[in-house]
Amino acid sequence: MCGIVGAVAQRDVIEILLEGLRRLEYRGYDSAGVAVLDAAHQPAPLQRLRRLGKVQALSDAAAEQGLAGGTGIAHTRWATHGEPSEANAHPHVSGDIAVVHNGIIENHEGLRRELQAEGFVFQSQTDTEVIAHLIARETAAGQPLLAAVKAVRKRLEGAYGMVAVNSQTPDRIVVARSGSPLVIGYGIGEHFVASDQLALLPVTRRFAFLEEGDVAEITRQSVEVFDLNDQPVVREARESSVEHDAGDKGEYRHYMLKEIYEQPQAITNTLEGRLLNGQLNLEALGDLSDVDSVQIIACGTSYHAGVTARYWIESLAGVACNVEIASEFRYRQPVIRPNTLLVTISQSGETADTLAALRQARAQGITKTLAICNVPGSSLVRESDMTLLTRAGAEIGVASTKAFTTQLAALLLLTAGLAERRADAAAVQQKIANALATLPGLIQQTLGMNEAIEKLAERFAEKHNALFLGRGDQYPIAMEGALKLKEISYIHAEAYAAGELKHGPLALIDAEMPIVVVAPHNDLVEKLKSNIEEVRARGGELYVFAGESAEISSADNMVVVPVPNCDDLIAPIVYTLPLQLLSYHVAVIKGTDVDQPRNLAKSVTVE
């Protein structure tokens, strides 16, 4: 989704801004723009450049035009209001003011009418342009930029992270945060701002995260932050532990493939200190003894992790568990039982719906909240009582891979914690510990299926639809497989609990419909075999990822790909891998943009 970078320095900041945008490219965008000012001159001419398409096009144009300046703001736009076009790209300018903005201004239509009635002329279809005009109206009336932004934010409804410059005062930038993250980067005699610290890692490792409602004025020498009530506040700058080279593809053709192959290490990192010498160490989870039920909230792939965890939490810990998509939860009036633990799951920790659902649950009286999240310092982490970090490392590919499997590993740890009240807690926890201990090795072994799956992928490239089937805790894995295939290969794919086949989807089966089945050797495998036969009898084309000991063999219209035997408990994690690899290879054959699939964003910070 949209990305923001800003800088105020003595040196030319254009390359810092462009490199920042490059590092945010993974989030998904359709256009890019930059505005720079030369702080040595007051007033300084506002130089703005925007391009439809990739940051490289903007970078080439900036070099051609010799764009330079010590103060600047830059943006990658993911269209919400108005088509992807140069006119709709940020920064938006009104008089001396230039603005970049992430999020959505919900009352923009009313504000647009108000400004048009006063003679302001709009150059774009965006909601953001109202912000530029509103600030320009304040500064034209004599307000300094900081006071102007403070006044304007009171008029805005919706979510925003915004950065503004004024060519009359080119030595400063003013930023405001409400619902969309912003982080300030501290250099020596220079300061930066971005929507994600990853953008600024080449120039600094010291970051302060703005809180909801904060406004900050940033110059080369100072950072002054004001809270929602306009009171000065200190947002402490801390050293970041995020890897500098997180944005490097290394030897891999795509980030997605790199991240698939990083899973053995990512899971080892998730378990570090939490699984010691075959024993679980669950101290970090705190006291869960008063938890009578669990409510999980998440979106997309993270939601699939939650659905998988429900099977574990109910069967292993004996605790009632409900799972819901955040965008649904936030707009209904759920009945939340006393002593409910609210668990949010998110790779980014900035997903707008998940954050809103967390706030909604708090407003309804939930007092115990746990975030399972991959980004330390993210909004979700900061707003939750407890955190279980997944430690997958930066995930750049839009398609979530290592974030998902590490979420599942973390959810097994949570299950073990919730099992504490059971009479046989020690046995259940030891069973989980034993299974988790084998996981990194098993994942490594499962990656050995890559070549076989690459061949299989050729059979999918010409297809328009696919069905994914699973039963029990493999049903959410089928859902995840279908999501992966559709998001990066653009093949329409749906998942069904195999038992549901004859209640409708069986009508879809013909020779043109590939059906992918996840079939570990578990207590449901015989039921699943019956479902497989139902499909075969109707001429369906089956691709079965089956446990080595499941006794399912290739036959007419049925390709069976063996998956290493593993403990039932961790089979959902192991069977995720072949499905990730399948969608990856299909997308490569189809020639889609694997890491930045069309219309999608890595971090969905708007509703």
Task: Catalogue the active-site residues.
Answer: 2, 602
- If one asks whether residue 405 binds ligand AGP (CB under 6 A), the answer comes out as no
Residue 184: exposure state from Cβ atoms within 10 A (0-12, 13-18, ≥19): buried
Per-residue mark of binding to ligand AGP, 480-509 (x: CB under 6 A): -------x----------------------
Tokens coding 79: 């269209």
- For residue 489, the minimal CB distance to ligand AGP (Å) is 12
Q: Are strands 368-373 and 172-178 parallel, antiparallel or unpaired?
A: unpaired
Tell me the number of residues near ligand AGP by CB under 6 A: 15
DSSP state of 317: I
Lookup: tokens for 513: 């419909």
**195 scored as a contact of ligand AGP (CB under 6 A):** no
CA 99/CA 94 separation, integer angstroms = 9
Q: Which is nearer to ligand AGP, 126 or 351 (CB)?
A: 351
Residue nearer to ligand AGP on the CB measure, 47 or 348: 348
Inter-residue contact 226 to 150 (CB < 8 Å): yes
Q: Which helix (H) or strand (E) holds 438?
A: helix 425-447
355 φ/ψ angles, rounded to the nearest 5 degrees? -65, -45
- Partnered with residue 239 across adjacent β-strands are 206
Selected binder of ligand AGP within 299, 352, 513, 563 (CB under 6 A): 299
Q: Percentage helix, strand, coil, to 5, in the chain? A: 40, 25, 35
- Under the binding rule (CB under 6 A), the answer on residue 204 touching ligand AGP is no
Q: Is 429 in the site for ligand AGP (CB under 6 A)?
A: no
Does residue 577 belong to the site contacting ligand AGP (CB under 6 A)?
Answer: no
Q: Binding segment for ligand AGP among 45-53, 263-271, 384-392, 396-404 (CB under 6 A)? A: 396-404
Structure tokens at 522: 């578990």
354, 406, 429, 522: residue in contact with ligand AGP (rule CB under 6 A): 354
Per CB under 6 A, the list member of 195, 351, 583, 596 interacting with ligand AGP is: 351
Question: Which one of residues 71, 360, 369, 400 is an interface residue with ligand AGP (CB under 6 A)?
Answer: 400
Window of 92-100, 119-127, 394-402, 515-523 that interacts with ligand AGP by CB under 6 A: 394-402
Q: Which two tokens stand for residue 438?
A: 């084998």
Q: From the CB of 375, what's the least distance to ligand AGP, in Å?
A: 8
Name every residue whose Cβ is closer than 8 Å to that of residue 264 and which is 6 or more positions away in sequence: 440, 441, 443, 444, 447
Q: Which residues pair with 563 in a beta bridge?
A: 547
Single-letter code of the amino acid located at 442: L
Q: Residue 390 Cβ, how far from ligand AGP at the closest point, in Å?
A: 10
Q: How far is the CB of 404 from ligand AGP (least distance, A)?
A: 8
Which amino acid is located at 462 in the chain? E
d(CA 71, CA 192) in angstroms, rounded, equals: 10
Place of tokens 């919400």: 80
Which of 459, 394, 401, 392 shows the shortest CA–CA distance to 578? 401
Q: Does residue 348 touch ligand AGP according to CB under 6 A?
A: yes
Which is nearer to ligand AGP, 16 or 485 (by Cβ)? 485
Single out the residue of 412, 339, 346, 416 nearest to residue 383, CA to CA. 346
Applying the rule CB under 6 A, the residues between 133 and 152 that interact with ligand AGP are none
Q: Give the residue at shortest CB distance from ligand AGP.
A: 300
d(CA 405, CA 390) in angstroms, rounded, equals 9
**Region from 288-296, 393-401, 541-549, 582-590 binding ligand AGP, contact rule CB under 6 A:** 393-401
33 vs 28: CA distance, rounded Å: 14
When asked if residue 573 is in the footprint of ligand AGP (CB under 6 A), the reply is no
- CB nearer ligand AGP, residue 486 or residue 536: 486
Nearest distance in Å: CB 324, ligand AGP: 14
474 forms part of the interface with ligand AGP (CB under 6 A): no
* Residues 6+ away with beta carbon under 8 Å from 303: 323, 325, 326, 345
**CB under 6 A: which stretch of 19-27, 317-325, 342-350, 357-365 binds ligand AGP?**
342-350
Please pick, from the candidates 31, 88, 346, 446, the single residue that binds ligand AGP as defined by CB under 6 A: 346
Distance in angstroms (rounded) separating the CA atoms of residues 584 and 258: 11
Q: Is 399 in the site for ligand AGP (CB under 6 A)?
A: yes
Residue identified by tokens 């310092």 is: 377
Query: Tokens 């932004």 label which residue?
Result: 149
Q: Residue from 300, 470, 476, 578 that binds ligand AGP (CB under 6 A)?
A: 300
520 binds ligand AGP (CB under 6 A): no
User: CA angle, corner 556, sides to 553 and 561, nearest 5?
Assistant: 40
User: Which residues within the stretch 585-604 sit at the binding site for ligand AGP (CB under 6 A)?
Assistant: 603-604
Please identify which residue in 166, 180, 347, 369 interacts with ligand AGP, judged by CB under 6 A: 347
301 scored as a contact of ligand AGP (CB under 6 A): yes
Q: How far is the CB of 146 from ligand AGP (least distance, A)?
A: 32
Residues in the chain: 607
For the chain, the C-alpha Rg in angstroms (whole number) is: 25
Q: Which residues bind ligand AGP (CB under 6 A)?
A: 299-302, 346-348, 351, 354, 398-400, 487, 603-604
